[in-house]
Structure 1
């Protein structure tokens, strides 16, 4: 990168990482043995969630959570979480290592329960709030959770399954007394939010947690079979916090500037929470990161770009994001021009491919904003690569470079490492990789092989600087007559058209070629485009065999899971009706 007016020439990635992680720095690294493998770790990372929980109390009367008209300070949140931890211990017999399931939408009580469980050394099992009754029963039973915390809607789904589960305790949040049944009201056990300040201030007993102790079980949404519980450690989740902090510092070093020292009097960072807390991004990166840094978390009841803009203006939000589609919806909202968005300084997203055009649009509509993108999985405890600030503007189609404690390699089908620039599966090793899958030794052995390498299942290429380009899921890649077609490449071409807000490329079965390229797009509000125009547009950017033979145009959002990823399994079923179709 070019020199600027900073104190030194801008650094390469390697130079910035070496400087930031050198001995004596906050990000100093050391090598420790984890499950028999020497792994680089951050020497100064907190040892456990309990350590982070105790440190967060120092922010006192500063606001921590805003939900609609409710406001919760750090001190009152600490007292409520501590009170709930005592309930778990004294009433329900929860001990260090016991699993507690957490199933609700993004309410303030989600955070209170999470930190209460973590503070006593319990293992938090956040289950997908969109799950059906049988799916939730499976997650509770498979994890062996002793206690379950639910909201009103999840309680109704679980009622037919409660007898089979045989729980020690069932706690319901925001549920009318008349509908509790066998559940006990959170408000009865802990108190109403207005009374949190009256709760005891004494800390909980120290559970004696080590970095390799279990912390979380997040269930992955597999395409076949039952979901698998990714068993995360204290080190996994705490490492993610340090990775996030280092990324921001690296952006300064890349510009040739010294990262600013922490300023306790600086304005509070305000983050709009737009993704579920029951996924790694929402929990590890946003909840834990906001709590540890003394930020404010603004919870939106249900994602809506117009309400998001209202909250950005009202709460002076400094950071928001989610998946790329959410950012597009804000940028394209008819309310955008009427709202004051000048407080926004950063927009970050991941969890799904993003079109290179998105960076330019962000810089145009948020001139002082630093956009960022990243890559990670449930099994890597969120952050694995980061693409930030000027690097992202320079390489908008990349998911960034690995954080310093993570090793990456791109391999062929036999596991042989490939030269830079070639396409293969991404393997990942580091202190962020989970122990394995709960009670599934065979699945663990298949996913994490000798040397601690986790097989991501993602097809990527890596350039000479180490920037990773996500091309597709290995199992989702289209093969048309023997030619590999990476869905992301075609989706990027569609995104480049100004009328396209969202796009998904899926296979259309073909009896001779095997698969043909199909696409579904959502048109931006107020825009019009025909299928013929889109096919011609893609044809100018890509080879003819990559042009979709059918593009279905929609005006409603594409189906997504709770983490914002497009449900291509649903769309593949939709597109089967075009088997045998020929484009005009």
Structure 2
């Protein structure tokens, strides 16, 4: 399964100062004109071409070649805070030293060689990053496992990847204690809170002092851009998860693509690259897991390159998020749109100082256009941003921010300059602007394939193009509009109904905090529309009132025939995507 991934960048968000621009006024340069200016020879975003698995592909000329390069660059940020977790503060220099020490330990003690797999199963602790970068610069393929998985699912990920070493927190290590001996995996435990499983050893190194950062050095392992670097497992909301096999080029492309996507909106609004790259504090509140491409590619790796601070949370909590925004002077936060809604509509919002925020970015699920109005209401002068990407595209493929977002809040933006997109019909023929079909993506961010799954790889990756499985349309200017997942599209009496459209209308209702639209089987019509609603605290809403509200916004055949109201949160995977399969199992006989 391909999950849309959240974008939570920490590059300066473009501001909009001209009222005519804010209103989407004319006179702005086009997307193609901005792209030509930004990618011209000698510019920061100049492009080149590379042969990637036999396909000529545009690449960023100035992108770091490997994760080793990014770690080396991060060292220059010295004593600035890189990772903040409760009472622990890990500087860039200490992080570099800890990662270097762990890389040498993997090679010297555990015999890890280039291409061996090193798995990570833990919460968002600072040790996650140390293990990730340390394993990568040792030449290993890093396998981030879903920390929410059961013991059986974790066992599957370890066995499927053939991991040689596992770095786990105490909770995950205890969960796996009964199966580790049979897997033959060396287990290192972070933050142990009791006896270790048989054969396991403490990870050590963080949060304690790893030694003299000035004396740290990385092992001498030759790494090339197209060497395998990561296996990120897709969310597995249906069937067994697939391991998305990414290269160093895939992951190091993302920070540059993200910067391009954000800055292009600022350039279009009349600002210069120099203005947009001026030094400023960058502090990201991380609300999603490191074990997804958003948390790792778009936040961790990007912050390492840019010198940004990442503030970690034990788990998502709205009040705690507001506390951290005030205490750490957070400049950016995001997650799935629901997280942004929860913060902005919290009754505690006014009790905290959020003046440090320069932007709010989100993705991973369709965002109601009304969300931009809420951001402008609560955070004046801040322009929201969203983006689109998948595990298979190493996070970002498109970005929509600044004037682009204000003009087209329903879009996820145009593709970044090194990516091509197209929409095709069932026969594979490319469709024209406005027509809905499957979105295909090509670029240096597209992964190598699925680990040990040649048929699935052959089906999804064809001549450099990745078949996303998402339904989309393009407008005349190349902006992408994600309509829905193909499997979530309803067909009622022969009429296509896209869940995202109905959900967006529901979010406009002032009493709706969260919602999900599902198909309900019907003997005559095939399917009817069903909607599950979570109301805001203290709000009361009736089914008839909701239907009347929707009837003014969407066609009658799209209005839900079935409505469920629930007090508990909707079930979600760690990336924030609603588990509609589980909802159907709970609600439908």
When normalised by structure 1's length, the TM-score is: 0.95
Whether 1:250 aligns to 2:250 is: no
Measured in 2, the distance between the counterparts of 1:194 and 1:410 equals 51
Q: CA deviation at 1:389?
A: 1.1
The residue that corresponds to 1:499 in the other structure is: 511
Whether 1:445 aligns to 2:463 is: no
The residue that corresponds to 1:152 in the other structure is: 170
Whether 1:162 aligns to 2:162 is: no
Measured in 2, the distance between the counterparts of 1:234 and 1:18 equals 27
Is the deviation greater in 278-287 or in 217-226?
A: 217-226
Cα pair 1:332 1:525 within 8 Å, conserved: no
Equivalent of 2:520 in 501, 505, 508: 508
Measured in 1, the distance between the counterparts of 2:349 and 2:549 equals 27
Whether 1:338 aligns to 2:343 is: no
Post-superposition Cα deviations, 1:550-574, rounded to whole Å, max 9, x if no partner, equal 1112232211100000011111122
Aligned pairs for 1:84-99 within 5 A:
84-99=102-117
1:255–1:262 CA distance, 2 compared to 1 (3 A): closer
Measured in 1, the distance between the counterparts of 2:382 and 2:566 equals 31
Secondary structure of the structure 1 residue equivalent to 2:491: strand
The residue that corresponds to 2:254 in the other structure is: 240
The residue that corresponds to 1:80 in the other structure is: 98
Equivalent of 2:231 in 203, 208, 217: 217
Post-superposition Cα deviations, 1:319-340, rounded to whole Å, max 9, x if no partner, equal 0000001000001111101111
User: How many equivalent pairs are there?
Assistant: 569
When normalised by structure 2's length, the TM-score is: 0.94
Q: CA deviation at 1:198?
A: 3.9
Whether 1:179 aligns to 2:196 is: yes
The residue that corresponds to 1:349 in the other structure is: 362
Measured in 2, the distance between the counterparts of 1:256 and 1:471 equals 31
The residue that corresponds to 2:533 in the other structure is: 521
Q: CA deviation at 1:467?
A: 1.1
Structure 2, unaligned runs of 5 or more: 1-15
The residue that corresponds to 1:302 in the other structure is: 315
1:291–1:497 CA distance, 2 compared to 1 (3 A): same
Measured in 1, the distance between the counterparts of 2:574 and 2:21 equals 42
Cα pair 1:105 1:129 within 8 Å, conserved: yes
The residue that corresponds to 2:426 in the other structure is: 413
What's the C-alpha RMSD, in Å, of the aligned pairs?
1.7
Cα pair 1:428 1:455 within 8 Å, conserved: yes
Q: CA deviation at 1:200?
A: 6.8
Cα pair 1:271 1:318 within 8 Å, conserved: yes
1:136–1:203 CA distance, 2 compared to 1 (3 A): same
Post-superposition Cα deviations, 1:486-528, rounded to whole Å, max 9, x if no partner, equal 0001001101111111110001111221111000011112322
Cα pair 1:83 1:199 within 8 Å, conserved: no
Measured in 2, the distance between the counterparts of 1:546 and 1:485 equals 6
1:175–1:200 CA distance, 2 compared to 1 (3 A): farther
Measured in 2, the distance between the counterparts of 1:204 and 1:179 equals 29
Aligned pairs for 1:348-367 within 5 A:
348-367=361-380
Secondary structure of the structure 2 residue equivalent to 1:370: coil
Cα pair 2:48 2:59 within 8 Å, conserved: yes
Aligned pairs for 1:447-486 within 5 A:
447-449=460-462, 451-486=463-498
The residue that corresponds to 2:5 in the other structure is: none
Secondary structure of the structure 1 residue equivalent to 2:179: helix
Q: CA deviation at 1:248?
A: 2.4
Equivalent of 1:571 in 557, 575, 583: 583
Measured in 2, the distance between the counterparts of 1:128 and 1:257 equals 41
Whether 1:55 aligns to 2:73 is: yes
Equivalent of 2:548 in 489, 514, 536: 536
Post-superposition Cα deviations, 1:473-494, rounded to whole Å, max 9, x if no partner, equal 1112111121111000100110
Q: CA deviation at 1:465?
A: 1.1
Equivalent of 2:565 in 532, 553, 559: 553
Equivalent of 1:390 in 376, 383, 403: 403
Cα pair 1:41 1:405 within 8 Å, conserved: yes
Secondary structure of the structure 1 residue equivalent to 2:98: helix
Measured in 2, the distance between the counterparts of 1:84 and 1:459 equals 43
The residue that corresponds to 2:4 in the other structure is: none
Q: CA deviation at 1:177?
A: 4.9
Equivalent of 1:311 in 320, 324, 345: 324
Secondary structure of the structure 2 residue equivalent to 1:38: strand
Whether 1:290 aligns to 2:281 is: no
Q: CA deviation at 1:419?
A: 0.8
Whether 1:125 aligns to 2:138 is: no
Post-superposition Cα deviations, 1:317-362, rounded to whole Å, max 9, x if no partner, equal 0000000010000011111011110100011111111100001100
Secondary structure of the structure 1 residue equivalent to 2:388: strand
Is the deviation greater in 64-73 or in 248-257?
A: 248-257
Measured in 2, the distance between the counterparts of 1:377 and 1:235 equals 16
Whether 1:202 aligns to 2:216 is: yes
Whether 1:372 aligns to 2:385 is: yes
Measured in 1, the distance between the counterparts of 2:175 and 2:543 equals 42
Cα pair 1:510 1:516 within 8 Å, conserved: yes
Post-superposition Cα deviations, 1:112-170, rounded to whole Å, max 9, x if no partner, equal 11111111121110010011111111111111110000001111111111122112x21
The residue that corresponds to 2:333 in the other structure is: 320
Cα pair 2:398 2:415 within 8 Å, conserved: yes
Is the deviation greater in 25-34 or in 303-312?
A: 25-34
Equivalent of 1:280 in 293, 297, 311: 293
Q: CA deviation at 1:179?
A: 3.4
